[in-house]
Every structure is written in structure tokens, then in C-alpha cells.
Structure 1
Amino acid sequence: MVEEPRGLTAAEVAERVARGDVNADVDVKTRSIKQIVLENICTLFNAINVILAVFVLITGSYKNMLFMIVIACNVVIGIVQEIRSKITTDRLSIVAGSHATVVRDGERVEVPLHEIVRDDLIMLGRGDQVPADAVVVSGVADVNESLLTGESNLIKKAEGAELMSGSFVNAGTVRARVVHVGHENYAAKISAEAKQHKKVNSEIMNSLNRIIKFVSFVIFPVGALLFVRQFFSGEGVELNNAILSTVAALVGMIPEGLILLTSTVLAVAVIRLAKSKVLVQQLYCIETLARVDTLCLDKTGTITTGAMEVASIETVDGADEAELCRALASLAAADEDPNETAQAVAEHCAAGGFEPLPASRVVPFSSDKKWSGAAFGDRAYVMGAGKFVLGDAFAVVEEQAAALAATARVLLVARVEGFDEDGGIVGAPVPLGFVAIHDQIRSTAAETIGYFKDQGVTVNVISGDDPRTVAGIAAQVGVDGADAYVDATTLETPEQVAEAVERYHVFGRVKPEQKKQFVVALQKRGHVVAMTGDGVNDTLALKQADCSVAMAAGSDAARNVAQLVLVDNDFASMPKVVAEGRRSINNLQRSASLFLVKTLLSMTLAVLFVLLPWQYPFQPIQMTLISAFTIGIPSFVLALEPNKDRIRGRFLENVIVKSIPGAVCAVLAVLTVNVVGRLALGFDYGQVSTLCVLLTAWVGAMLIVRLSVPFTPIRTALLVVVVGGTVLGATLLHGLFGIVPFTLEMTVLFVACAVGVAAVFHWLYGVFGRWHGARLAKMA
């Protein structure tokens, strides 16, 4: 009689705890909430605006501080989004469980996972997740490592076999000795890398940051020169007026509303996608996915559902199909602890109406025999690997098995005379046929992959499964080049990986670290890469990708590290995400040009009025009027309209091209009013300022007209609101916005300038539009 293992003693456990050999979770700490709040508040962008607000406060003109409302909104949105991201990241835990059964002092006890120590003897049965890397001491079990390796087949683990933390016991019972704890565990190493803070790769964000950095570089020297020039000009400009004029110039340089617009548009996209059961965990990933040109798919859980199904049942020459189906139904029903394969066979046979025979004896599957069997009265059947069942006789049916194996896992079914006392086969097995089993392919997979192909996106399938199986499934769903596949175990150097990902589109036997290498290699070649997956083996690649998508039914690790989570586990939701991204980005590009007109105008005028002998013709409150009706309201309306056009060109270039005509015309109008109004007509500051404000609004309205073509009822209503709001501000609220009554001379000058800049604007808009269109065509 074999003595029951005693496991560790209490003293040995205490000794290991003392030296730190405990299965504690070694987290990579994310930023604290305090750090997130401080980093969002203490930015150069906010500092500039606060300094400007302080100067306005000194003058006592509180109405000119309204621009700080936008700054506050930016800060709040940024903090909320980052705290939300921190919470999801902190939940990242690959090993999900609370207790494990260990043997200590000869007794089985349950302990929390974090109290397991090195060399503990743990008991694992069906459905248990392996809490720490261990080595099997006794027993046999089928282990599912798909979340770690991506290979969907069950792995037989017997004495001496390694168990990886994060894998699941599918059938059987084993005792295993813990060899790694805490950060040494396989799953912990992946989790630690996945938790590293990743910088968002967003072209819009990067473009906005470049604008802000440039403005920050010039704003203070230009502001100082402008203030000195006005206050010491000898024209009698008071200190408060000089400050307000300077602040108006500097506030106009900063596109603070554009940042708020971007956050708002993407937040609306998040809400829309949530209705389609898509969880967005990082705002800017919507933009990134809209720009993706390469999509890397994990097979299991993405193209396939993760469930097993019978692909086909084929008889060998001379065998009876009815007997084959009856044998399959009986073998599946006889399995007392059916795994996913047996369950798939049972479901298929039940659907076919085949009643199983009652079993008189069952021979369970073993890793040595690689088959299972059962006796049913006067007959007996076995099912398993063909070579192990038939031996040399397998050569007769090997070609038929190989053909089926191209897309599925193939098991042979044979009739036998019976079994001996040790469970061995008696007599020569007679083959009846084969059952081919594969992962269930999603019904929408082919259509979804077809969509991406139509959009010019290259689709790569990267899996831990046998490359022949992966290639077969890829071919069924329409992946280009599926007939040429690569066994990733043959790729040993980064150079080989880089060459393979550029030439091939189907990869099998891919290790988790190789998936990340594939993504890196594609990114180095200039591709924008999206990665989808559902297992721990996908986590590193998901973290590396420009846009990462996980299935809700997958591992916690994959869900929490991904930027997008498909709640309904349906890959068919991806086109909706791409469409939403396109709507957001195309509309943002269109609306952003309105903001850049103000930025370019303010920067140019600030420099010019350092040289000109007159006071800067705008006050902060007047910039608020222009921003509200010719920039703010129109940009938000235009940014939320339907738009499914492909993303073309670079964000900043697309925006500036549409901004330059408006900025140039606004600058010409302001200079004309100052030169003619002050030198020829003798206008005072109030009259000049009024004309400059209204002519700038006029240029903004012309840009809105060009951006609104072709007109829709909403766009027509928008133009009415823009014109009506500006007129209302200039008449009924003229005191608030510093607008003085028109004289005949002012009216004549306004009409002349309005007609002139209209002609110049439409000419410039056409010239730049044709140049940019030709450039985009060349890039394509």
C-alpha cells in the first residue's frame, strides 16, 4: 500500500514564508489617483492658461475669463478617463481563484492562493485553475493551456510533467509540487509586462501636442513684446487695456476648444459603441483602429468560438456508416468524465438520432495508449490516434486521415474483440472510419474578414495551434494567402520574424513572446497594427499593438489589457468600431480646421502688431464671441454627423490645408481695417475692433459654408444659428462684447472688405484643395 504524501510541515511552511518563497502577487504598480490628478492639472497647457487668467483677474474684467471654463472641462475629462483606465488595469489578474487545496502535515487543507509556498503539494481536479507553476508528482490529467499558449488541444499531464500557472484541469486528478511562486510564475511574468504603462499612439493627440508645444515656445516672448509695444507706444493705451489685448492675442493662439472637442467626440463614440456591446477602455483607440492597415487575429476565440464541434465523419472503404455513428455515440456516452472532444461527439450523434449502447466496461484514455475504449455486450470499440490504434496497419488509411487533418483534429474509430485485464486491445482492430473535430468557426467570421479586405486591411492569423489546422480555418474564412503558412518554431531570429510577417499571413505554433515580436516587426515597417485575442498568450501582443481588441469571454488578462472589449464575443462588431472611428476622425479633421484658423490668425496678428503702431484689435471676450458662433457650435455639430469615408492623409496636414485660406483672409481683413480705418478714415479703437471682430466672423462663416457642402437640413440650420448668433451678439449684446454702433463709413468699409476677402478666400480654398487632393492621390 502506497503511503499518502505528507506534504510540507508547518515548520517548513514558516521557513519558506520567512525567506519570501510565497505565492504573493507581485504587482507592477500603476500610477496613483493622486499622480493622475496632478499630471492632468500640472501641465504646460494649463499653466499658460492660468497665467493668462491671472493677468485678466488683475484687470478686474471677469467676463474676459470665460475661456477658463473650457480648460476646466479638459482637465475633468482627462482625469476621469485615466482613473477609469487605472481601475481596469489594476484588476488584471491571470490566475482567478480564491483558494487551493494543499497537503500539509499529511492533511488536506484549503489555503488562499497568496499563501501557497514553494514546494507545497497541491491537489488539482477537473475545473481547477493551476495557481502556481508546478510539476506533477502523481496522477494523470487533461490540461487546457489555450489561454497561455493559444493551442486549443488538451494536453495530457502525467508524473514529471510541468503545469503552468493560469492553465485549467479539464479532466483527471493530479498531485503537483509547486516550483515557482509570485513573480517567478509564467502567468505573473506575462501579467507584469502587460501592466506596464503604455503611451497612447494617437496621431490626433500627437498633432495637438505638437501644436501646443509650438505655441508654448512662442507665446511668452511674443506676448511680452506685444504688451511692451502697446503700453509704451505713446498712444495712451492704459495698463488694463494693454493686458487684455495681449491676453486676447495669446488666448487666440491656444486651440483649447479643439482638445475639448476631441475628447467629447470620442466620448460620444464610446457611448454609441456601448450600445453595440463594444466596451471602449481607451478613448484614442477608436482613432487608431480607423487608421489600421494590418489586423492580426488569434484563431481560437476570435475566428472560432472556442467550442469544439464535429466537422465530419467519414468511413473507410468497406465499413458501415451506421455502425460508425453508433460506435461514436456509444463511446461518447460511456465516458464518465467527458472532455470537450467527447462532448462534441455526443452532441453530434444525439442530433443525428443515434442511441448509444449501454457500456459493460470502459477503458479510459491514457497518454501512453492515446486512445479510449469501451465494451458493449458482444462488441467493443476504441477511438484515438490512428497510429497508436492500428500500428503498422495505419498506413492503409493514412492518406485519408491526412486529408482530413488539414483543417481538423482527426480520431480513428475501430472495432475490437475486447480488452485484456490491463486494458489492452485484444485481437486486430478493424477500422470503421474517422471523426474530424475542429474549433467552431463563427458564422460571421468570413463576412467580417471580407470587410477588412475590402477596406485594404491586411489580415494575418497568428495562433498557437498546428499550422495546418490554422491554415485550413483561415482558408475557410477567406484569408488571403492561407495556403502558404509558417510554423513559428522555425523562426529563430528577429530577422526571420520580420521577413516572415511581410511575406506570409498564416502562422501556427506561435509562442506568446513571438506574437509580440510579430507586432513589433510590422510596426517597424511602418504598419498600424491591430491585434485581437482572448487568451493570456495574446496579452503581450495586445499590449504592444497600436489597437488591441479582446473578447469578453476570454481571460481577465486579455480583457483588461485590451483597449476594446467585444462584450458579445462577436468579431462581427469590428466593422462598427471602424465605422465609428471613421466618423469621429473625419469629422474631427473637418471641425479642427475652424479652430486652427483662430490659432494661425492670432499668432500672425500678434507678431504683426508687435511691429505696427496700433493696439491689438481684439479683447478676450470678443474672441469668445468668435469662438462660440463660428468655431465652437459649428465644430460640435459637424463633428457628430455620419461619415464613413476612409481616412486619408495625415491629421495635421489635412487640418492646416483647410485652415490657411481662412487665416490668410482674416489677417488681410484686419490689416485693411487698421490701415484704411485709422489712417484714411480716422476710426478710433472701438470702431476698428468692431470691424475686425465682425469680419473675422464673416471669414469663419465662409469656411463653415465650404465645410458644409453638400448642404443638409442640419447644416442649413447650423448656418442660420451661426449668422443669427453673431448678429445677436453684435446688436442686443453689443455692450458685453465691446461692439460699437456702425457709421456710414464703417458700413462701406465692412462691405468692401467682406466682398474682397470672399473672393480671395474662395480662390485660395480652391487652390489648396486641388493641391492637397493631388498629394493624397499620389500618397495612395
Structure 2
Amino acid sequence: MAEEPRGLTAAEVAERVARGDVNADVDVKTRSVRQIVRENVCTLFNAINVILAVFVLFTGSYKNMLFMIVIVSNVIIGIVQEIRSKITTDRLSIVAGSHATVVRDGARKEVALHDIVRDDVVVLGRGDQVPADAVVVSGEADVNESLLTGESNLIKKAPGAELMSGSFVNAGTVCARVVHVGHENYAAKISAEAKQHKKVNSEIMNSLNGIIKFVSCVIFPVGALLFARMFFSGEGVALDQAILSTVAALVGMIPEGLILLTSTVLAVAVVRLAKSKVLVQQLYCIETLARVDTLCLDKTGTITTGAMEVAAVVPVEGADAGELDRALASLAAADDDPNETAQAVAAYYAARPAVRPLAPVRTVPFSSDKKWSGAAFEGRAYVMGAGRFVMGDAFDAFEGQAGELAATARVLAVARAEGFDADGAIVGAPALLGFVCIHDQIRATAAQTIGYFKDQGVTVNVISGDDPRTVAGIAAQVGVDGADEYVDATTLETPEQVADAVRRYHVFGRVKPEQKKQFVIALQEQGHVVAMTGDGVNDTLALKQADCSVAMAAGSDAARNVAQLVLVDNDFASMPKVVAEGRRSINNLQRSASLFLVKTLLSMSLAVLFVLLPWQYPFQPIQMTLISAFTIGIPSFVLALEPNRDRIRGRFLENVIVKSIPGAVCAVLGVLAVNAVGRLALGLGYGQVSTLCVLLVAWVGVMLIVRLSVPFTPIRSALLVVVVGGTVLGATLFHGLFGIVPFTVPMAVLFAACAVAAAALFHWLYGVLGRWHEARLAREA
């Protein structure tokens, strides 16, 4: 290595700091704890409930504020889960080096990455990550730029060559002068779009938000009308009673328990996945991945491990296979500073102890000019490198064989030579012994994992920056459909060409970072739900664009922080577990959500009707708490945590409403019948009518639980006993707390008649709507 540059002086460093030419910290950051807390607390959903709680507080009836327990629990779960993910992600980020060696005033010193200034001379050796864009001023090194470009091949860097921030030095040592700092760096430009927190495109979340937005538009106008009708109608309804009845109607409209249930179920899935070393950074991405129909994989680091391995050792015709093995083993053993290729050859022969390497007497290191390395042994010499550079024109005779091998791997020629001259050049005409084929090491579980997604009807696309022939060869080995037809992305120049290509092909090579994002957009515009996996800065744009993004923990900070899922053990085989958890969560949530929607539909319908009817709204907030606890809350949590790996069918909101309508219709008609008959025909008071309405709605809830529990299991049978027993207990031993009055004979007769009629109507409606929905799903399949 040439004499080391003196670097900047202290005065020059100070001058650049004053100008702002400093490598300011531009890494993608996770949200702060303050942001997480603010986003979970300051929501429209929470604001509505707090306003209603304030009205109840005004009446002094504190027991009617119990609904706020659900709101607080939901906020706590969201905050705890997101802070937990933040802490884990920040810990993963510490893996990257935080210091660099620079030359200042002729001496080496370590400085923090953000203290590097423009024109600093950085010293980079094997394993170091390039901290800022720079130009090599002395030395040579092999650099891995796969995190930036997707290319897994090592790039030789000599004086004058550019080094991109984020790449790694694989072998050799260089001194390089920093030319870009901070946001000017190549890696910073690529990851700039990833800096903003990405919201998940979740059907469940969108459905819940849609419900809340709709409710928020009608809740206060309806509430004001209902309160005015009761308080100013002259019926003698006291102010406190009018407020409580109004709040009961409005609280019932809001599916607050469903929000909590969703957060809890997904949080349980997060805990389960954590045991499988999968970090979930956004709760709802579990659902999104379960709905994915197209999976885009980056080859390096996903299908492959990122390490190199020997795919084959192929002698040419007439050559001695034993000598070829001995030559390769000897060359690998003679390399004092082996790069990934030499390491792969050494590992290959370490598993073959019968091949004993020769003792070297001279070595000729690899250089980007020669494109080969060699070593002399007692009585012979061998070289390994690019065939054309090793053999010259004599390589024409072997071009065909080398071309066939190059379809799936990088091919190096191995030849016997007479020796080397003083300048390290080959003496005489080398004799070709054969070829060694090197390719990325394929993960042992890759084929099985891709097979799983194919069985589930998910289309798998492989998108890589590597040579398309190499990508296609690896894709074929792991079972990707259509791997025999591939596309060189450099030929795709227009959005129309990209859209046509992603519609017809599944293997793409030479893909630029910007094109990966274009591919994802094109698939989304064609109606697909797209998941993207990757580990490099070059993947961040596509990861952010995808509906669900998955990163490897060993990848770049930018990829990890923009991804919604991080595979901590860097094993793509964890993906089926995520899909299974998503299916369990979504299918069970759909089943349980119908219980909540019954209350929402019931409360909205009754609130509007009782604005027009001459009676006081028949519920208080504490009574809605009794109904919510035993006929909605407890059963929904039990049903939502059961095993369920069925494929997801239909849309969330439609699936839920179809099962909710029968219960809501029966409950509304039952409440109207109780009020009409009870008040007009039987002369019942408000407390008696309210009691009948509460128990009738509970009865409808029990019927829906029965239908949702079919086929019954021991757990579901025990659940039904708890639901009925808890409701009865609340209506008897704790009747004072819940505003339940003792039954009279007229009340018992009216309840029995309404219960029988509701049961008959409920089961008929449930059957009719169920058959219609099944036929609709069959048509869409």
C-alpha cells in the first residue's frame, strides 16, 4: 500500500464543521416515545368517549363511567406494543458500527460517524462499512454493494474508484477521501422516502375507522335531539336521567370493545410471533400479510443467505479431476486474505479432507487489472479467475461450456501454469483444468417456504439487482413458477412496459431500487395485495410502498425501520407462521366482531327511533356494560383466541355485518315491542320496561353466541354456561348496580312471548342471510 495520506488538519476540520460540511446523522429513525403516546392517546375515538365520560361525571353517577376502562386498556395496549417494537428495533440498529477511523494531522484516530467532515480521509479494512460516499486515494479492496444495488458480486475498488455509503469492505484495505456528507450520501438519498412513519393498509383498521368516522358524524346531532326530546318533552325526565339515557345510547353506538378486542388479539399474535423470532412493528400488518396474494422477494438475503458457496467443480475434457480439486484446495489455502470466493472454495474442500492442499512458495494476489489470483507450489503453479483473462484467446474453445455453467452461477476458470515472472505475470501458456461455479448460498428452508405460499394461492415474484440468468437459476431451484422465463429490467423503460412485465413474468434481474418500487405500484394498480421482502437500502422504496413489508434483521437500518415485520433470525421460513397467525386473528375477529356490531346497529337504530317515540330511552350506560361484558366481551375474547387457519374469504365489514343484522333486527323489534306493549297495554313503569329490554337484548346475544359456537367444543360449551350464568347473576344478586327491578307476572309473560318470537325470527334471518353470503363468496372465488 502506498504512503498513507496525512488527511485534514485540526484547523481544516474546524472550518468544515463551521460550514456545516459534517456527516450529520441521517439514519432512518423510529418514532419517539412521545410520538407513540400522542398518536395512541389523541384519537377521534378516544375524544368521543372522553366527552361522554365528562357528561356522566356531571351527573355524579360514577358507576356509569365503567366503559372508560375499555378505552384506557386499548390505549395502554397500543402504547406498550409500539414502544416494545421501537426498543427492539433500536437495539437492532446498534449492530451497525458507530465509529470510523480517519487520518487527521498525519495520525489515525477514531471518530463518531456523525463527526466525519467533507474531505476527511477514512481508513477502511475488511468488514468495515463505508460511512459516507468517498473516493479511494490509495490501496485496493473488494467491496460488497448488495445492500445498495442488490448485486451480490464483489466490486474491486482501486485508487480513483468511488465508494458508496452503506457498502462493506470484504477484503483489502483502502484510504478514501469523503466527498459527500449527510443527506448528500447515496444511501441517504435512497432512504429519504422511508423516513416518514408508514401507515398500514389494513382492511380491519380501515373498516373500524370508517365505523368510527360515521358514528362521529351522527353521534352528537342524534344525542342532542334525543336529550332534547326527553328533557324538554314535559314527561318529567330529570336532567341526570336524560343525560345518562343519552350517553347510554351514544356509548352503545361506539364499538369500543371491538377496538380493544382487535388490539388484544393482534397483541397476542405479536407475542406468539416473538417466540418465533419475528418482530412485529405494526399490529395490523399481521392481517395485511394474511391477505397478501402477491409476494415479491429480493434474492440476496431472502432466498439466499448472502454467503457464497461452491455449486460445482467441473473439469474440462481431458483434464484430471483430481488435479483440479488439488489446485483449487491449494489456491484457497494459500490466500492470506481470502475474499468470499476463496472462503467458499476453502469451505468446500474443508468438507473433503481427502483433498490435501499443497504448500505454497509464492502467491500472486487478485487484482482488478489481472482479474485472477495464483500461487506457485513446489514444481507447479495454478491460477484462478476470469476465463478470458487467464487463458486469453485460447479460451474460445471453452466459451460454450463456460456459458452454459454461467446460466446459474458465477464461473471461474482454473488453470495450470509454468510459474510467474517478477511482475507477477503468468509465464507460458496456461493449461485449463476446469471451472469452479460459485453462487449465493440458498437457504435450506427456501424451497419449502415458497412451496407453502404457492399452495396458499400466493404468486411469488423474485426481484433482484443480479444478472437475470443467475436470478432465474436460483428461482428455479427453489420452485418459483415461471423461473424459465425472466426479464432484464434494464429493458423496461416505461410504466406500461413495467405493468405488462409484472403481469406476465415472475423473475426479474438487473432491477434498480427505483424500479422495485415501480413493480410494487404496478402490481397494486392491478388489484393485488403485495408483500415485499428485502434487507438492503436498495429495497427501502419498495418496502415502504408495499402493503406489507418484511425485512431481515441483518440488513440495513433503513430496511429494518421502514419494514412492518422484521425477521430477527434472518430466516424467511418464519413467514408461514406470520400468515397462520394472521388467519387465526382475522377469522376469529370476524366471528367475534359481529357481537359488537349488533350493539352498534341496535343503539344507532334505537337512538333515532326514540327521538321520534314518546318514551324515555330504555337503557343506562351501566346496563350496556352488563350486556357488553357477558354477551359480547367475554365470548368475543374466548372465540377470538381459538386456533383457526382457514383461508380468508370475503371482506371484513361485509362478513361481520351479515352475521350482525339478524341479532340487531330482532333486538330492535323486541325493544319496540316491550315499550309499546309494556307501556300502553300493561302499564309498566320505566324501570320495568328497562329491565325487560336489557334481558331481551341479552337473550338475542346468547342466540348469536350459540350460532357462532357451532360446532360446540368443551371450551365453547363452558363459555355458554359462563355467559348465561353471569347475566343471570348480574340481574339477580347485583340488580341494584345494574338497575334491574324484580319480575312481575305481566313482565314474565311479555318477556317469554318476545323471547320466543325473537328466537324464531333470528334463526330464520340468520339462515337466509348466511346462504346468500355463501353464494356471494362462491361467485367471487
Pair in the same fold by TM > 0.5: yes
The structural deviation recorded for 1:463 is: 1.1
The 2-side partners of 1:425 and 1:263 are apart by 69
Q: Counterpart of 1:665?
A: 666
Q: Counterpart of 1:756?
A: 757
Does the 8 Å contact 2:2/2:139 carry over to 1? no
2:745 matches 1:744: yes
Name whichever of 506-515 and 244-253 sits farther off.
506-515
Name whichever of 130-139 and 629-638 sits farther off.
130-139
Does the 8 Å contact 1:464/1:510 carry over to 2? yes
Check 1:563–1:397 CA distance in 2 against 1; reply closer, same or farther (3 A cut): same
The structural deviation recorded for 1:197 is: 1.7
Does the 8 Å contact 2:4/2:138 carry over to 1? no
Which blocks of at least 5 consecutive residues in structure 2 are unaligned? none
What amino acid is the match of 2:316?
V
Q: Counterpart of 1:698?
A: 699
The structural deviation recorded for 1:594 is: 0.3
Does the 8 Å contact 2:691/2:739 carry over to 1? yes
Matches within 5 A, 1:615-634: 615-634=616-635
Q: Counterpart of 1:220?
A: 220
Matches within 5 A, 1:225-236: 225-236=225-236
Check 1:95–1:115 CA distance in 2 against 1; reply closer, same or farther (3 A cut): farther
- Deviation digits for residues 89-141 of structure 1 (CA, Å, limit 9, x no counterpart): 76796993233232333333333322221122222222221111011122211
Q: Counterpart of 2:573?
A: 572
2:328 matches 1:328: yes
The 1-side partners of 2:219 and 2:96 are apart by 53
Does the 8 Å contact 2:81/2:267 carry over to 1? no
The structural deviation recorded for 1:439 is: 1.1
What amino acid is the match of 2:640?
A
Check 1:445–1:182 CA distance in 2 against 1; reply closer, same or farther (3 A cut): same
Does the 8 Å contact 2:63/2:622 carry over to 1? yes
Name whichever of 581-590 and 67-76 sits farther off.
67-76
Check 1:2–1:32 CA distance in 2 against 1; reply closer, same or farther (3 A cut): closer
Check 1:176–1:351 CA distance in 2 against 1; reply closer, same or farther (3 A cut): same
The structural deviation recorded for 1:333 is: 0.7
The 2-side partners of 1:124 and 1:29 are apart by 26
Check 1:235–1:247 CA distance in 2 against 1; reply closer, same or farther (3 A cut): same
- Deviation digits for residues 228-272 of structure 1 (CA, Å, limit 9, x no counterpart): 111233322222211111111111101001000000000000111
Check 1:151–1:730 CA distance in 2 against 1; reply closer, same or farther (3 A cut): same
The 1-side partners of 2:105 and 2:58 are apart by 77
The 2-side partners of 1:13 and 1:597 are apart by 69
Secondary structure at 1:397 match in 2: helix
Which blocks of at least 5 consecutive residues in structure 1 are unaligned? none
Does the 8 Å contact 1:472/1:482 carry over to 2? yes
Check 1:500–1:2 CA distance in 2 against 1; reply closer, same or farther (3 A cut): closer
Check 1:76–1:498 CA distance in 2 against 1; reply closer, same or farther (3 A cut): same
Secondary structure at 1:117 match in 2: coil
Check 1:188–1:370 CA distance in 2 against 1; reply closer, same or farther (3 A cut): same
Q: Counterpart of 2:468?
A: 467
2:124 matches 1:117: no
What amino acid is the match of 1:496?
Q
2:435 matches 1:438: no
Secondary structure at 2:360 match in 1: coil
Q: Counterpart of 1:178?
A: 178
The 2-side partners of 1:426 and 1:121 are apart by 39
Q: Counterpart of 2:374?
A: 373
Q: Counterpart of 1:606?
A: 607
The 2-side partners of 1:165 and 1:29 are apart by 17
Q: Counterpart of 1:534?
A: 535
The structural deviation recorded for 1:398 is: 1.4
What amino acid is the match of 1:638?
L
Percent identity between the two aligned chains: 88
- Deviation digits for residues 695-754 of structure 1 (CA, Å, limit 9, x no counterpart): 100100000011111111111111111111111111111111111111222111111111
Q: Counterpart of 1:196?
A: 196
Q: Counterpart of 1:642?
A: 643
The 1-side partners of 2:50 and 2:101 are apart by 59
Does the 8 Å contact 2:670/2:693 carry over to 1? yes
Q: Counterpart of 1:107?
A: 107
The structural deviation recorded for 1:2 is: 7.3
What amino acid is the match of 1:589?
Q
Check 1:234–1:216 CA distance in 2 against 1; reply closer, same or farther (3 A cut): same
Q: TM-score if structure 1 supplies the norm length? A: 0.97
Q: Counterpart of 2:79?
A: 79
Does the 8 Å contact 1:94/1:557 carry over to 2? no
The 1-side partners of 2:2 and 2:658 are apart by 83
Does the 8 Å contact 1:248/1:623 carry over to 2? yes
Q: Counterpart of 1:98?
A: 98
What amino acid is the match of 1:766?
G
Q: Counterpart of 1:70?
A: 70
Does the 8 Å contact 1:298/1:463 carry over to 2? yes
The structural deviation recorded for 1:392 is: 1.6
Does the 8 Å contact 1:669/1:757 carry over to 2? yes
Check 1:762–1:655 CA distance in 2 against 1; reply closer, same or farther (3 A cut): same
Q: Counterpart of 1:448?
A: 449
Secondary structure at 1:360 match in 2: strand
Does the 8 Å contact 2:257/2:596 carry over to 1? yes
Q: Counterpart of 1:137?
A: 137
Does the 8 Å contact 1:91/1:560 carry over to 2? no
The 2-side partners of 1:104 and 1:726 are apart by 78
Secondary structure at 1:745 match in 2: helix
Does the 8 Å contact 1:150/1:463 carry over to 2? yes
The 2-side partners of 1:275 and 1:7 are apart by 49
The structural deviation recorded for 1:577 is: 0.7
The 2-side partners of 1:512 and 1:98 are apart by 26
Does the 8 Å contact 1:94/1:555 carry over to 2? no
The 1-side partners of 2:276 and 2:28 are apart by 33
Secondary structure at 1:396 match in 2: helix
Name whichever of 111-120 and 423-432 sits farther off.
111-120
The structural deviation recorded for 1:5 is: 3.1
What amino acid is the match of 2:432?
P
Name whichever of 562-571 and 220-229 sits farther off.
562-571
Does the 8 Å contact 2:77/2:267 carry over to 1? no
Secondary structure at 1:56 match in 2: helix
Check 1:28–1:557 CA distance in 2 against 1; reply closer, same or farther (3 A cut): closer
The 1-side partners of 2:349 and 2:233 are apart by 96
Does the 8 Å contact 2:28/2:195 carry over to 1? yes
Q: Counterpart of 1:731?
A: 732
- Deviation digits for residues 518-540 of structure 1 (CA, Å, limit 9, x no counterpart): 21222222211111122222222
What amino acid is the match of 1:512?
P
Secondary structure at 1:177 match in 2: strand
Does the 8 Å contact 1:133/1:180 carry over to 2? yes
The 2-side partners of 1:559 and 1:291 are apart by 22
What amino acid is the match of 1:581?
G
Check 1:581–1:25 CA distance in 2 against 1; reply closer, same or farther (3 A cut): same
Check 1:22–1:594 CA distance in 2 against 1; reply closer, same or farther (3 A cut): same
The 2-side partners of 1:89 and 1:196 are apart by 16
The 1-side partners of 2:373 and 2:351 are apart by 23
Secondary structure at 2:415 match in 1: strand
The structural deviation recorded for 1:88 is: 6.0
Name whichever of 238-247 and 264-273 sits farther off.
238-247
The 1-side partners of 2:317 and 2:94 are apart by 48
Matches within 5 A, 1:416-427: 416-427=417-428
Check 1:93–1:189 CA distance in 2 against 1; reply closer, same or farther (3 A cut): farther
Check 1:133–1:2 CA distance in 2 against 1; reply closer, same or farther (3 A cut): closer
The 2-side partners of 1:617 and 1:243 are apart by 13
Secondary structure at 2:312 match in 1: strand
Does the 8 Å contact 2:132/2:178 carry over to 1? yes
The structural deviation recorded for 1:486 is: 1.2
Does the 8 Å contact 1:99/1:113 carry over to 2? yes
What amino acid is the match of 1:542?
L
- Deviation digits for residues 553-590 of structure 1 (CA, Å, limit 9, x no counterpart): 32333223221122222211111110000000010011
Q: Counterpart of 2:20?
A: 20
- Deviation digits for residues 48-84 of structure 1 (CA, Å, limit 9, x no counterpart): 2122212222222111111111111122223334444
Q: TM-score if structure 2 supplies the norm length? A: 0.97
Does the 8 Å contact 2:138/2:158 carry over to 1? yes
Q: Counterpart of 1:492?
A: 493
- Deviation digits for residues 418-462 of structure 1 (CA, Å, limit 9, x no counterpart): 111111111111111111111111121111101101111110111
The structural deviation recorded for 1:195 is: 2.0
2:176 matches 1:210: no
2:485 matches 1:479: no
- Deviation digits for residues 204-223 of structure 1 (CA, Å, limit 9, x no counterpart): 11111110111111111111
